[in-house]
Amino acid sequence: DPSVWMKQGLLLLSRNTALRDLLEKAPVSRSVVTRFVAGDSTERAVEVVSELVASGRLATIDFLGEDTLDPAQATYTRDAYLTLLSALSDGGLTHGGQVEVSLKLSALGQALGADGEKMALDHAREICQAAANADTTVTLDMEDHTTTDSTLGILRELRQDWPWVGAVLQSYLYRTEQDCRDLAHEGSRVRLCKGTYKEPESVAYQDKAEVDKSFVRCLKVLMAGDGYPMVASHDPRLVEIAGVLAAANGRAPGSYEYQMLLGIRPDEQKRLAAQAERMRVYVPYGDEWYGYLMRRMAERPANLLFFLRSLATR
Ligand code: FAD
């Protein structure tokens, strides 16, 4: 199947640093990127989420960056979040968790050798404290499977002080149904998504239909549990099933939420928000957009054509 090969190829390219350096330096690509990325400044991110909030949607903001192997870069990322949170709070956007932040621990130094986990934890603590001061929450994005245990370990540490720190679980991993059971307790915020990294058969379903079935099993556990499920998918079937399961478990709107990415199915986002559902948009910003954008391309070849066309017609 050529589309599978293309997807695998794009996921490999998403970690290609030479191509990343080339494209991120090319100003031409900036305009292409803005459909999926809010821009490169804090001000722009704040503007974009203000518009979302005005349209009845919630947001979670991700300062782009990942796989950091430089302690100074990890500190820079932490500081970007601190600046962002104070700007959001000054703008009156964080109250009650209306706009929160999403973090990639690998951008905070998680992979930096023996001390990496501690560095990421320390940075994440500072960000959580700033979020608490702003009356909002933090969600830890989930990265490739080699980081799952480490990320869930850091989540447990953070939740001792801030029980509202959110987790992300990926239905393509075999382990995830069990992780859902472990995390479906009172006060536990869990974002369920399909998963977006290139994973081996030893740990993850390769077949899309299997990933979807696993998503539904995981949703059943989360919706029946006592936590707060966050359903992160653009898949119309899964969005519908989530609504049915929520109703079957006697959950009122507000006791769970839907989440989608900036620029993807915006009409569906507005439709759900208009039904008094909580609809949160994931808003990435910053100049390290390469890895993020390549994963979006791998998910949908139409996005790739759009990207290539814009490059060709600069
Ligand atoms: P897909 O299988 O990609 O698509 C299913 C169907 O959805 C398509 O057939 C189509 O009908 C519809 N659809 C999808 N894209 C479009 C489009 N552009 N336009 C119109 N229709 C479309 N992954 C992680 O690994 N870790 C994370 O921490 C993480 N966080 C996320 C947070 C949020 C809020 C979201 C929405 C996703 C996150 N992801 C994360 C990515 C996720 O794992 C998937 O890779 C991504 O969401 C694509 O899967 P999908 O469920 O949307 O379905």
Smallest CA-to-CA distance from 9 within 209, 203, 302, 294 is with: 294
Contacts of 36 (CB under 8 A, 6+ apart): 261, 262, 263, 264, 284, 289, 292, 293, 296, 303
Angstrom distance (rounded) from CA 300 to CA 76: 32
Q: What is the CATH number of the domain that holds 270?
A: 3.20.20.220
Tell me which of 20, 57, 78, 141 is the catalytic residue.
Answer: 141
What span, in angstroms and rounded, lies between the C-alpha atoms of 84 and 95?
Answer: 14
Q: Which two tokens stand for residue 236?
A: 């119309």
Instruction: Quote the CA–CA distance of 273 and 267 in Å, as a whole number.
Output: 10
pLDDT of 305 > 80? The answer is no
Highest-confidence range of 13-27, 84-98, 284-298, by mean pLDDT? 84-98
Q: Is 87 in the pocket of ligand 1 (CB under 6 A)?
A: no
Determine contact, residues 252/229, Cβ cutoff 8 Å. Answer: no
Name the closest-CA residue to atom 5, ligand 1.
235
The answer to the question of residue 304 being in a domain is no
Q: Can you give the pLDDT at residue 8?
A: 86
Domains held by the chain: number: 1
- pTM (2 d.p.): 0.94
Q: Does any domain span residue 11? A: no
Q: How far apart are CA 100 and CA 98, in angstroms?
A: 6
Active-site residue, 141 included: yes
Q: How far is the CA of 161 from the centre of ligand 1 (A)?
A: 31
In a domain, residue 274? The reply is yes
Residue 16 domain flag: no
Mean pLDDT of the chain: 93
Residue among 74, 141, 85, 72 at smallest CA distance from 108: 74
- Pairwise CA distance, residues 119 & 152, whole Å: 15
29 pLDDT tier (thresholds 50, 70, 90): low
Residue 297 lies inside a defined structural domain of this protein: no
- What the block records as the tokens of 53 is 């909030």
Q: Which domain holds residue 270?
A: 37-288
- The answer to whether residue 32 is domain-embedded is no
Q: Judge whether 22 lies within some domain.
A: no
pLDDT at 314 over 60: no
Specify if 181 maps to a domain.
Answer: yes
Ligand 1 atom nearest to CA at 168: 28
pLDDT band at 40 (very low <50, low <70, confident <90, very high): confident
Whether 191 is catalytic is yes
